[in-house]
């Protein structure tokens, strides 16, 4: 299991966090996503076949690139 917290400057409200949670949860291997709109942070826990690279790519794709 791996875990990382991303800082995502484009998060502006709870809806952004919901969108990110929904999208990341669809990635196979991601089993936990937590977000804090006030801190503009998303914490992701995953295992194979998800990877840090895939998670970063997905965040870029949905227009919430990590800092």
Residue carrying the six token digits 């709870």 = 14
- Residue (35 or 44) nearer to Cu ion, CB: 35
- Residue (35 or 46) nearer to Cu ion, CB: 35
Report yes or no: 6 and 45 within 8 Å, Cβ to Cβ. no
Residue carrying the six token digits 């991303």 = 6
Among 4, 7, 9, 15, binds Cu ion (CB under 5 A): 15
Among 8, 16, 44, 55, binds Cu ion (CB under 5 A): 16
Write out the residues near Cu ion by the rule CB under 5 A: 12-13, 15-16
């Amino acid at each position: 299991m791996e875990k990382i917290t991303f800082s995502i400057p484009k998060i502006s409200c709870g809806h952004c966090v919901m969108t990110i949670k929904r999208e990341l949860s669809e990635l196979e291997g991601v089993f936990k996503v937590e977000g804090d709109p006030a801190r503009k942070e998303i914490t992701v826990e995953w295992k194979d076949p998800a990877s840090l690279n895939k998670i970063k790519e997905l965040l870029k794709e949905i227009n919430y690139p990590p800092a």
